[in-house]
Every structure is written in structure tokens, then in C-alpha cells.
Amino acid sequence: MSQQIPLTWFLYFAAASFSIGLMGVLMRRNAIGVLMAIEIMLNAANVNFVAFWRYGPTPASEGPISGVMMALFVVTVAAAEVAVGVGLILLCYRRWRAADVDELDSLSG
Amino acid sequence: MAAGFSLQDFILFSPVILLTGWGLLTLILDLTVLSRLGDTERNRALGLWTIAGLVSSVVLCQFLAFEYVGNVSGQDNLIFFDTLNGGVLYTQFAALVLLFAILVTCLSMVWNFTSHWGEYYALLIWSAVSMIVLIASEDLITLFLSLETMTICLYLLTAMEKSKKRSAEAGLKYFVYGSVSSALFLFGLSLVYGQTGSTSIDMIGQILSGAERPGLSGNLAGGVAVLMIMVGFGFKISAVPFHQWAPDAYEGAPAPIAAWLASGSKLASLVAMVKVMGGALGTWSATTSPTSPGWVGLLALISAATMTYGNFTALGQTNLKRLLAYSSIAHAGYMLVGVIAVGISTRREEAAAALFFYLVIYGLTTIAGFALAAWLDRDLGTESVDDLNGLGRRHPYVGVAVCVLMLSMIGIPPTAGFFGKLYMFMEALNVGGQDKVTMIGLVALGLFNSVVSAFYYVRILKAIFLRETDRKPLQNMGPEISLPLAVGAGLALFFGFQPASLLEDMEVVSRSGLRFAERPIASEERGVVRTILPARPASAEAAPPTEAPKP
Amino acid sequence: MIQALFIALSAFGLLMALGTVFARNLVNAALFLVAFFFVIACQFVLLEAEFMAAIQVLIYIGAVTVILMFGIMLTRNIQGDETTTVSKRWRLLGLGAFGTVCTVLVLGINAYQPWTDLAVRPEFPVTKDSTTPRGQAILSMTPTVGREMMTRYVVAFELAGLLLTAALVGAVVLAQHDSTDIVNAKAEKPGTEPAVTGS
Amino acid sequence: MSPFDMTMTPETNLMLAQSIYYDKVDLWLWIRWGLYLFAGFFGVFPLIVAYIVLAERKLAARFQDRIGPNRVGPFGLLQPFADFIKLIIKESIVPKGANGFVHLLAPMLTLISAFLVLAVIPFGVGLAPVDLPSGVLYMVSVSSIAALSIFLAGWSSRNKYSLLGAMRGVAQLVSYEIPQVMSILPVILWAGSLSMVSIVQAQQYDQGWFIFSPPGILGFVLLLIASIAEVNRAPFDLPEAESEIIAGFHTEYSGMRFGLFFLGEYLNVFAVCCLTTTLFLGGGSLPFQSYFAGRAEHMLAAPFDASKDQILKLNAHHEFPLNPGSGFRIEITNEAGRSEAFQVSHRTGNDLYLLANRPVDFQAGANARVTAAARPDFASPWHFSNLIMIPVFFAKVFFLIFVMFWIRATLPRMRADRLMAFAWKTMVPLAIANIFLGAIWYEIVIRPAGGYGHKLVGWAVTGPLTLAAIALVFRINRNSYQANDPERRPTLISRTGESLLAATTQGQ
């Protein structure tokens, strides 16, 4: 390609989607909605990792694909997190008939 | 030499491998041999089985510590491609985490709060495993993964008491706050990775302390990264702006798991925090000039808010678990003072040792405190402080033990808690440079807060000794309650009379385990501290570990 | 050319992310999320990490979204419409957080010299005689990932396995009805019963 | 030096040769894509599907002792076109209150995933529309989109039965995807590559069909069963069980939208059969073809240290084009009888540069044997061997499709909980065991001599182990297939299945 994409463009994209995810976490009342927003945030971080791996310099002691490996493990963590989260949400839903974070009110203080 | 791994790495790591397999065996045992037993029998059998596994792992750890790494006290005891620490730090803290886990397992055998005992104990063991790996991890990838494994196991354990509504709610709240904070933490890590191109904590520290790196000045992205990483750790140790989950989780979770949250996870997260903030981002700590503040100022704010909020909110609590939760928030505030001292002190190893001393004592005492809550849960089903009324009359030994615990938590001289606070605050006062005023203020605030905390701790003592009981009396506590109480109180007392032994050990640990990047030292050593602690050479000659030979 | 492609792609992705956050209907939100995941996969392709792109599609679109859909189906009214509304305070807070974080991040990225200098993607030439590890990794990502997982990140790899095992065990325990459950008045029949069958 | 350091090792060198090979293919990529899309979408595949449908109707009729469609055209050969016209001119109804866009999106996704899977299948020499270096991974990931499309179809049509069918379908697809992928892993291990073309080549020239080994047979059977479940065909067609939930997820579909689902389903059948053929039945290769692969004996002219990437001088002029990437494996036996196999790195004239994984030193006069035949350059589809390969390939595919029809006509539909139990209690453990068996086979047969190892020893070792694994799994599961009694605490695996099942049942 004659024209290249600067690194900062990827970073802008990641930053924007990350803050969108943060906004979603704050604005969603439904736990599953919050889960989706968290997924957006994790993906933004992944884009950062892969972009830095592809563009940035790495010290010699580093593996050839450290950034990609990090992103890979983050994907694993995200999958596990979603499974656990949905399990917890089901558990609470059976008790409250609601999956909304702010309807859980037995604990207070 | 090229980093690699050999058989010795696996030998050094065998306690962790053993424990992981032990967890799987626990599941299999529960589903095959014990599947026909009732809940109580399974609880007891699996609890003893778990304790056996943990004890054997501790023994293995100590054996390895003497056999392999006992004499290694250099910068180089990294294993598995320098992603893990195989030195004294790993063995000692592994043994410590496992000790906590054993006490928590004892508490789990107190009463039946779930019917899934196999899964419960397996998750308990695996969370201990991930805590050990988190403490030992020298690489951001391993660190993040072990942190997530730990927290996910803890979410599940928190919600494990399926017969209570509040347990599920506690689990969900813990999960939501936790996953959001870990997402922030991860983004911060990605920014740090972008600035250094490395995921190795030590390499990051070396790169950031390079000549062409002017600290944090003008590096807004770095500042954001530090902020986000601080959010992640602050959540894990329940520092104030990110503490909302803690009281609910502690109250909703079954008492043993609350103890586990307060002791094990806090210990592991704080050690990891010391590594990352002090080791990797240590060069960004100090306020070199008014235009370029380091993360010290921010952490000082968090610390001040944490201890003040924790103590003042604990004053109004009536539920014992909730009270202990707020007291653990307050203690997190004190510990952050130690973290700051590690960040900017000239005697970082000593500061870290003082912090670890405090951590150990705090973990033991808080587990013992939750043992009290477990007792109430078993016999009365509630955990309000008034349920302790007149306990001292009927169980004088328990009264004495609780007395020792509370004195240690306040920090009254004959107990170890006093020396923990003393060492940590002295190290905090030992710093120089721009941040000296901040530290003095923090220490003063810490002392004031200790006085405040005395009020609610003494309230427990008052209930135990002065009040007449008005409820149905508690039955005798079995060994599974008395053991954690005795261990906590006994060790608090023992290290109150022999503080030096533990401190020496912790100094060996921190000196051989933690590696801090070189940083232009802003201040001279203070003579006053020498009277209390023998002066150690500053960490300036800490050789970068890459060219050192492997054990 | 490729820059225009990137801009269009990213704009689409951000729109999808906004849709995920704002959609009233949770299933629509999940659909937007799928589109967003797909855009992320395209970004990985643009970054020459096709392996990551495949993993992204496999795990996120194939598995994570399905789990989320299950969660929606089991917890909401069946069409997944959002019932609760966000209070004005939270809405303002969210918008404020979005504005601040986005601005600060963009400013920080712009202020950091070494990043802004990387205007051109560095090439890692791979010839028969001389090659760089990263060039090798880019050319053949899958074997490199395999070897890294078995050597440098072996502990992390095992730990990921442990994480997935723990998540599976725990999620099953939590999602399962059992005797100690407090049964809600309107609770459906326990999940351990067999499905409706035509027999 | 440590064997694990990340410097430039010979393996990376080997990857280098491969990647250069793939870059060479890259030139034809776009043209082939264009051809493939045009021919595939509008010509070949719909036609194939049409006649698969006709064949199914005819065969089902035969199985049930009927005649089947025989009105339109000779022997009813034009029946598909009649059906096609009927589907086109029927009105396509979108239910009131349905989500129109999603309602249209769902069948498209089905079709798209089916076509994308077909994109990496090597139908013959040079007829792989695109030969990805990680083709299997790509295939798995695109086929995982099907679950999403089924869910969307059920959800968007605002119909209880559709939703129930969709939830069942998604649970089933998610559960059977695991054994499907796991049964492929031994093949990847043996072929040492994720590229479909390399997998076919490994079977055609080096190792023979992968089904000719105990783990291969087990993996083949597992893959076939899981594939039948993946395409929702009897006895796994619960998502569209007429007797329970009217037509499952496509109850509300009519006209051409239903036609798209129809097309997508049968295209999936075709795709999974192509996949099974490629992975286990050696693609278009003839059975035992690898045994007739040419060998040649050469004497080593000069001492040769492979670790130094030295020139290997073959003193006899060899008849094979020993180009890098042409898949040659040169096996050298020294006087001590120790033999090592090497790949060709590059070549100048008659001088070969070999790739070594480990330092070895061979004296002059050692015996060099060429153990693999020359592989035709896969750049051009006009290779003569296509005359044989394409018919062979399709013969295998249609045999597998016939087997599917046979199973459908023979077996009754499964019960939903049995379906899950079968996936989680039988298929998954067997697939996991099969991975280890495949590793044993690899160690015995493939690694020592590049596929020419002691096959009999391999059979003798892995055969009993395979039977033992199957017997063990079925023995453990035997009593758990009884109606679940409240006394037994369900095992973890069955709990997993049941919680997924609980999801399917609570959807109603």
C-alpha cells in the first residue's frame, strides 16, 4: 500500500470505543447490558495491544508476539467472565425476577 | 544467556502444580466416592482432604525453600522465561497464602452453607493457586491472568451460599464492579505496553528509568495508564473510590469466604501492586517538580480517603461482618501508606518489608475476626455485634483471644499490630524530596485514624466483657473455629514480642524478590530510622536480572 | 485507499458500539455488539494479525454472543425489551465520563511523541537469508503462537486452562437449580427436568 | 544454548519456506475468488443442492417402499426446478410485529456461513478457492456463525415455537461444536498444518488417508456424527421437530426466505461432507496412492552437517523437481543406521539446501532416500490429475451424503435430554481420548519416518487403546442413560449438559 495507517488512528479508535464502553457501564441498568459494555472495553484494549505490537519497537528480551499473546489471553478471560457473569445473573434473576443491578437491595449500608 | 526453562523450574513450581491437581481430585472425589454421602459428611471429608493437600503443599514449599532457593539471595531467581519469580518471595508468600487457606478451610467446615462442597473446595484451592501465581508473577500477562483467575474464583465462591438471597446479590455486585475495574486495569496495561513495548515488569522498569525518559512530566497517556492501573488495584484491595463492593460482598458472602477475601486476595493484590507500582512504574512515583507530579500524590489522596472513610463508617456498623469489612477498608488505607513509601523511599526494600509485616499480621487477625462471625452464623444465624454480649463470661479464653486481636488491629503495643504500624509509618517518614510533607500528613492522619478505630474495636470488647447476655448462648466452638482464633491471636501476640524475626524474614523476601529500577535519589537517608532499623544499602546497586545466571 | 477503508470501518464500528450502549432492546444491542466484534476482527486484519481475527470471530461472535443471547432469553421478557429506564443523573454521569475519558485519552495520545511519530507501519522484511522474529510471526502467526504458548507463556497457558475450568465448574453450579435454592413464587420448573418432547 | 530461545531456529526457516510458497499462490487469489463467487453462487452449488434434494426425496421414497417424484421431466429430473419456481412465486410473509431486518438477515447468515465454509475446500488440484495457511481455524470460526443465524430466525419471528426451536438449535449447535472441533485436532497434528491443501497433500503423498488408523476411524465417526448434528438433520433435527414445535425456527418463513433456509441447510450438508472428505478421506486422492509415491536412492557425495544448512550434493541426477515447498522430504541414513528426514530449503542446480530441526552430521557415502513424491505445483487448476481427482472427490462426498440420508431414513428422532447427554457424556470424552490416541499414532508412525513408519505397530498399539476408550466411555454412561432418578447426584458433565438443556427448556 502506498498510504499507510498511522498508529494513532488505531489508538483513537480504541480510545473512543473504550470510553463508549465505559459510558455503557455507567448508563446500563441491566446486568447483561453492563456485560456487553465491558466486552466493548476489553476489545478496545485488545486493539491497543495488537496495534502496539505491530507498530511499536520491542526490546530484544521480549517474545516476537507479546502483544498478540496478551490479546489472546484477554479473549480467554473475557469468555470466562461472560460465562460466570451470565451464571450469576441467572442466579439473581431467580431470586428477584429482575436482572437489573439497582434492584438488588437486600444488602445496604 | 537465552531465557528458557528447565526441569528445575517445574520442581520449584511443584507446590502449585500439586495444588492444581489436588483441586481436580477434589472434584472427582466429590462426584465418585463421596457422592452418596450427606452434605455434612461431605463437607467434613472434603475439608480434611483439602487441608491435607494444602499442608503437603506448604511442606513442599518449605522443603524447596531450603533445598533450592534457601541460599539464593540475588536478583536472579526467575523461572519460566523470567515470567515467574522462583525465589524466597515465591516460597515464603506461597506458604503464607496456604496458611491463610488452611484457616479458611477450617472455617468452611464450621457449618453447611452450600451443598456443592466439591466445587466449593476446588474453587478455594484454585483461588489459592492463582494467588500464589499472582504473587510470583514477573510478567504482565501472567499477572493479569492470575489476577482474573483469582477474582473469578472469588466471585463464584461469594455466590456459593445458594440458600441466601444476599449471597447471590453479593456475588453479582462483586462481579460487576470487579469486571469493570479489570477492564480499566487492562486498558492501563495496554498503554504501558505501548510506551515500553514490553510486558516484563522488570524490563518496563528499566526502560522507563532510561535516560531519555523524563518521568511523568508531559506524559498524559502515562498518567492515564497509572490512573487506570490504580483503579484496578484499588478495587482489588477495596480502596475508597472503588470500595462499594466490599461491605456488600463481605456481608453477603459466607464468613469463610469473607475472611478469604479480606486476607488472601488482599495480600496477593498488594504484593502485585508493590511490584507494579514500585517496580515497573517506580520511576513515575516521585514528585520531581511541581509541574510533574508522580502517582504519589494521587495514591496519598486515595489512602487518606480510604482510612478516614473506612474508620468513620465502621463506627456506625452493627453487623460484625460489615464492621470487619469497613475495618479492612481502613487497613487498606494504612497499607497504601506503605505502598507509597515503597514507591518513593530510598530504602525501598525495608519499606516493602514493613508493609509485608503489616500485611501478614493483618491477614491473620482478620481471619480470626471472621472466625467469630462464623461462630455466630453457625449458632444464631445472625452476625450482629450484640450477639457477642457476655461472651467473655462464658468463654474467658475466647475473650482473651479476641482482646488480643482487637488490640492488634488498633495497634496497641504488646501486640504485633503495633509494630506493623510502627515500622510502616517510620518507613513512610523516611522519605525525602518534594513529597515529605505529604507523607508526614499521611502518617499523622493514620495515627488519628488508629485512635478513631479504637472506638469500634473497643465496642466489640465491651460487648464481650461488660454486657450481660440477652440471647440464647453460643454452643462450644469446635476445633474448626478455635484453631483460626488461636492461631491469629497467638501469632499476633508472638510477633508482638518477637517482631524482629518476622521482619528479618520479610526483609530477606523483599530484598531477594522485589527488583526496583534505578531512580535518581532525591533525598538523603534519615538518621532517625537507623535507631529502629539497621540501615540497609540503598537499592541502587540492584543489578538488572537479565545477565545474571540462573540458580 | 486503505486509509479511507479504515475510516469507514472505524466509523461503522463506533456507531455499532453506540448502538450497543443505547439500544432499548437487548437483543438488538447484542446484534450491534456482533457487528462491533466483526469490526474489531477487521481491525486485526488491517494489523496483519489474521489469526487474532479468526479467534475473534470464533470466540466472540460464535460463543460469547450466544451466551449473552441465552442470558437475555432467560432473564428478560422473551423479546428482550428494556423495561427499566436510566435515571437522569446516571445518564449525565455516563455522558460526562465518556467526554472526559475520550478527550483525555486523545490528548494523551497526541501528546506522546513516540506514538505520533509512527505514521508508517514498520516493515519486517523476510528474505531467505535474513529475517526478524516479528517478520516470521507476521508471516506465519499460528505456529509462532503455538510455540510461544508452549515455551514462554506456558504458565499463562496452563493458567488460562485453569481459569476456564474454574469458570465452567462454578457457572454450572450457580446456574443449576438445587434443593437448597430458595424458590421464588413465580419460579419456573427446575432446569434439571427433561425438555418437552413429542412422545 | 537453551532449546527454547527465540532466535532464528531452523523451524522458523521451515516456516519461511512455507510462507514464501503461500505468497506465490497469492497472485491467483483474487481471480479465483471472482470465478468462485460467480460460478459458485449462481451455478454449481445451487444446482448441486437442487439435485441433492431430489436424490433425498427419491432415496427416502425407496427406503419407504415408495416411488418418489417422477412426474416432472424424465424420472422427475426437472422436479427441483419446479420446486424452485414455486418457491420464487410464493408470497414471502413477514409476521406482524416481527423484526423485519433481522427476519431477513437470519437466512442470509445461514447461506453466507455455508458458502464461506466451502471457500477453503480443495475440490481438486488448484481448485481450492482460497488456500489459507490456517484454513481449518477459518472454517471452524465461520461455521460457528450458523448458531447465531438460527437464533436470530427464531427470535425475530415473534413465535413461541420458533423461539423454542431456536433455543434448542443453539444449545445443540454449541454442544456439538466441541466434539466436532476436537475430532479434527489429530488430523491437524498429523498433517502438521492448518491449511486444507496441505492436509490433502499429506494424505495423498505421505501418509495415506487419515481414516486408515484407529484414531482416524474414531475421529471420522465422531466428526460425521457431530456434523449431522451441526446441520440439524435426523436423528438430531430437534430444532425443526414437526411433531413437537411446528417447524422450529423457520416456522414463520415462507417463499424465497424459506427457500434461502432450505438452500443453506442443504448447502451445509454438502459442506460438512466436503469437509469430512478433505480431512479424513484424502480429498480427491485415490486410496493407497501414497504407497506408489516415487522413491529414489541417492548417495551422499560430501559430508553433510545439516545444522549448518550446508549443501547436500546428490551425486545422481534425480528426476524429481526438488523445489522448496514442493514437499520433498529427504531421508538420510548413516552407516550406523540412524536416519533423519529433512525438508528442502532452497536449491541451486543440483545442490540442495536442507532444513534440519536438530544438528546432525553425516559422512560421505551415507544413503539419502527421497521419501516423498514430487507434488504438482498447485497454481493452475488445469492440472491433468484433476481429471481423476475431481470425480473421486465428489464420489466420496456423495457417498457421505447418501450415508446421511440412510441414517435419516433409519433412526428415530432423539429426545432433547438424550441429545445433550450424548454430546457431553459420550462424544466429548471420546474426542478428548482421541486426541491422545492421535498423539500416540503420531509418535509411532509419522514422526520417525514421515508417514512411512511402522503402521502395523501403530495399529497394534492404538487399536486396543481405542477400543478400550470406547468401551470405558460407554460403560460409564450405561446406567446414566436411564431415566434420571432423584437419588443419583448428577455428575458434573451431565450437569453441564443439563444446565444448557435447562436453557433450552426455559426459553418457552
- Predicted local distance difference test score (pLDDT) of residue D108: 87
The pLDDT value recorded for residue C99 is 93
CB of B227 within 8 Å of a chain A CB? The answer is no
Q: Is the pLDDT of residue B105 over 60?
A: yes
The arithmetic mean of pLDDT across residues A86-97, rounded, is: 85
ipTM over 0.95: no
Sequential DSSP letters for D108-148: HHHHHHHHHHHTT---STT--S---TTHHHHHHHHHTHHHH
Overall size of chain A counted in residues: 109
What is the second-level CATH architecture of the domain A7-57+65-100? Orthogonal Bundle (1.10)
Which residues of chain A make contact with C60, given a CB cutoff of 8 A? 39, 43, 75, 78
**B155 touches B243 (CB < 8 A):** no
Residue D81 or B520, more confident: D81
pLDDT digits (tens, 9 = 90+) for D422-445: 888 899 999 999 999 999 998 888
Range in A95-104, B80-89, D169-178 with the lowest mean pLDDT:
A95-104
pLDDT at res. A108: 56
Q: How many CB atoms lie within 10 A of CB D139?
A: 26
Least confident range of B65-74, B244-253, C146-155, D349-358: D349-358
| Higher-pLDDT residue of D89, C197 | D89
CB-CB: which of C70, C126, C142 is closest to D194?
C142
Chains in touch with A (3+ beta-carbon pairs under 8 Å) read B, C
Return the higher-pLDDT residue of D409 and D485. Answer: D409
Q: What is the mean pLDDT of residues B424-430?
A: 90
| C24 at interface of A, judged by CB pairs closer than 8 A | no
Which pLDDT does position B133 carry in this prediction?
Answer: 95
| A21 with B183: Cβ contact below 8 A | yes
Which residue shows C-alpha cell 450415508? Answer: D403
Nearest CA among A80, A102, A106, A105 for reference residue A34: A102
Give the whole-angstrom CA distance, residue B452 versus residue B429. 21
Mutate which of C127, C136, C154 to test chain D, going by most D C-beta atoms within 10 A?
Answer: C136
Of the candidates B78, B203, B58, B89, the one whose C-alpha atom is nearest the C-alpha of residue B511 is B89
**Selected residues 61-80 of chain C with any CB under 8 Å from a CB in chain B:** none
Among A17, A40, A84, the residue with its CB nearest the CB of C167 is A84
Residues 137-156 of B with CB under 8 A from A: 140-141, 144-145, 148, 152, 155-156
Q: Which residues on C lie below 8 Å from B139 (Cβ)?
A: 156
With 90 as the cut, is the pLDDT of residue D369 above it?
no
Partners of residue C50 in chain A, C-beta under 8 Å: none
Cα distance from A88 to chain B (closest Cα, Å)?
6
Task: For residue D502, list chain C residues with Cβ-Cβ distance below 8 A.
Answer: 175-177, 190-192
C166–B149 C-beta distance less than 8 A = yes
What's the DSSP call for residue B66?
Answer: I
CA dist A71 and C52 (Å) reads 8
B471 — phi, psi (to 5°)? -125, 175
Q: Which residues have C-beta within 8 Å of that of residue B430, sequence separation ≥ 6?
A: B341, B345, B346, B347, B351, B525, B526, B529
pTM: 0.86
Chain B residues in contact with A52 (beta carbon < 8 A): 190, 193-194, 197
Q: Which residues, in sequence order, are bridge partners of residue D105? A: none
Beta bridge partners of D368: D298, D332
Does the CB of B452 have a partner CB in chain C at under 8 Å?
Answer: no
CATH number of D295-370: 2.40.10
Asked if C123 is an interface residue toward chain D (Cβ–Cβ < 8 A), one would say: no
- Percent of chain C surpassing pLDDT 70: 80
Share of chain B above pLDDT 90, in %: 52
Q: Cα angle at B205 between B199 and B211, to 5 degrees?
A: 125
Any idea what DSSP says for residue D377? P
For the segment D386-402, the average pLDDT, to the nearest whole number, is: 89
Q: How confident is the model at residue B259 (pLDDT cuts 50, 70, 90)?
A: very high
Residue D379 pLDDT > 80, yes or no? no
Q: Which residues of D are less than 8 Å from B1 in CB distance?
A: 1-2
Residues C150, C156, C161, C164, CA torsion sign:
negative
The answer to whether residues B370 and B258 touch, using CB atoms and an 8 Å cutoff, is yes
All three cell numbers of C160: 488460562
Q: Higher-confidence residue: B21 or C187?
A: B21
- Name the strand (E) or helix (H) holding D312: strand D311-313
CB-closest option in C112, C165, C171 to B221: C112
CA distance A14 to A37: 14
Q: Where are the domains of chain A?
A: 7-57+65-100
**Which of B1, B3, B27 is closest, CB to CB, to D492?**
B27
CA distance D332 to D299: 9
Amino acid at A92: C
- Taking alpha carbons only, the member of D223, D228, D190, D268 closest to residue D427 is D223
Closest-CA distance of chain D to residue B533, Å: 43
Determine the residue of chain D that is closest to B24 in CA distance.
Answer: D492
pLDDT value of residue D387: 80
* Bridge partners of residue D314, in order along the sequence: D300
Query: B122: nearest CA in chain C?
Result: C166
Place of cell 479508535: A13
Neighbours of D187 (CB within 10 A): 25
**Stronger pLDDT, B364 or D135, i.e. the higher one:** B364
What are the tens digits of pLDDT across the range A41-66?
A: 999 999 999 999 999 887 877 778 89
- The total number of residues shown for chain B amounts to 551
Please give the share of chain B, as a percent, with pLDDT higher than 70: 89
CA-wise closest residue to B127 among C165, A38, A42, A89: C165
Provide φ and ψ at D309, rounded to 5°: 55, 45
At the second CATH level, the architecture of C1-83 is: Up-down Bundle (1.20)
Would you tell me the crossing angle of helices C26-46 and A7-27 to the nearest 10 degrees? 160
- Of B31, B87, B35, which Cα lies nearest the Cα of B64? B87
- How close B544 gets to chain D, by Cα (Å)? 19
pLDDT at C197 over 50: no
At B268-304, the pLDDT tens digits run 999 999 999 888 888 887 766 666 677 888 899 999 9
> What pLDDT score was predicted for residue B2?
44
**How large is the average pLDDT for residues B497-501?**
90
Residues from chain C contacting residue B20 (CB–CB below 8 Å): 158, 162
Out of A36-45, A71-80, B420-429, D90-99, least confident range: D90-99
Question: Model confidence at C189, in pLDDT bands (50, 70, 90)?
Answer: very low
- Give the one of B82, B180, B190 whose C-beta lies nearest to A48's C-beta: B190
Does A62 reach chain C within 8 Å, measured CB to CB? no
Q: How many other C-beta atoms lie within 10 A of the C-beta of residue D351? A: 14
Which residue ranges make up each domain of chain D? 100-289+386-506, 295-370
At residue D353, the pLDDT reads 60
Q: Report the range of poorest mean pLDDT among B60-69, B420-429, C188-197.
A: C188-197
Asked whether the beta carbons of residue A19 and residue C105 sit closer than 8 angstroms, the reply is: yes
Identify the weakest region by mean pLDDT among A60-74, C71-85, D371-385: D371-385
Query: Nearest to residue A17, comparing CAs of D301, C10, B515?
Result: C10
Q: Which of C2, C14, C156 minimises the CB distance to A20?
A: C14
Averaged pLDDT, C170-186:
67
Distance (Å, whole) CA C160 – CA C175? 22
Q: Above 60 in pLDDT, residue D450?
A: no
Is the CB of residue A58 less than 8 Å away from at least one CB of chain C? yes
Q: How far is CA B21 from CA A14, B18, B120, B154, C143, in A?
A: 39, 5, 15, 19, 29
The pLDDT tens digits for B322-352 are 999 999 999 999 999 999 998 888 788 889 9
Contact C104 B224 (CB under 8 A): yes
The residue of chain C with its CA nearest to that of B194 is C115
Q: Which residues of B have a CB under 8 Å from any CB of D?
A: 1-6, 27, 31, 35, 81
Q: Testing the interface with C: which of D1, D4, D6 to mutate, by most C Cβ within 10 A?
A: D6
Is 60 exceeded by the pLDDT of residue D282?
yes
pLDDT at position B527: 32
Cα separation, D392 vs D94, whole angstroms:
43
Q: Among C166, C170, C178, whose Cβ lies nearest the Cβ of B115?
A: C178
Give the angle subtended at the CA of B279 by the CAs of B273 and B281, to the nearest 5°.
Answer: 85
Q: What is residue D264's predicted lDDT score, i.e. its pLDDT?
A: 87
What pLDDT was estimated at residue A104?
Answer: 65
Judged by CB atoms closer than 8 Å, whether chains meet at B187 and A44 is answered as yes
CA distance B256 to B105: 7
Q: For residue D336, what pLDDT is reported?
A: 54
Burial D289-325 (b: 16+ CB within 10 A, else e): bbeebeeeebebbeebebeeebebbbeeebeeebbbb
pLDDT per residue over C124-155, tens digit each?
766 555 567 777 778 778 888 888 888 889 99
Q: Is the pLDDT of residue D3 over 70?
A: no
Find residues 159-198 of chain B whose CB sits inside 8 Å of chain C.
159-160, 162-165, 171, 191, 194-195
CB atoms < 10 A from the CB of D461, how many?
18
Q: Which of D33-42, D79-88, D461-470 is predicted with the least confidence, judged by mean pLDDT?
A: D33-42
Contact between D4 and C152 using a beta-carbon 8 Å cutoff:
yes
Q: Give chains near C: 3+ CB pairs under 8 A.
A: A, B, D
On the question of a cis peptide bond just before residue D235, with omega within 30 degrees of 0, the verdict is yes
How high is the mean pLDDT of chain B?
85
Question: In one letter, which amino acid is B308?
Answer: T
pLDDT value of position D366? 55
Task: Return mean pLDDT, chain D.
Answer: 74
The separation between the first and the last C-alpha atoms of chain A, rounded to the nearest angstrom, is 60
Closest residue of chain C to B166, computed from CA coordinates: C182
The Cα–Cα gap between C65 and C74 comes to 14
Q: Is the pLDDT of residue D4 over 80?
A: no
Q: Domain boundaries in chain B?
A: 7-516
Is B106:B258 a contact under the CB 8 Å cutoff? no
- B186 to A34: CB separation less than 8 angstroms, yes or no: no
pLDDT at C116: 87
Q: Return the pLDDT at B526.
A: 32
SS3 of B246, please?
helix
State the pLDDT confidence band at B466, using cuts at 50, 70 and 90: confident
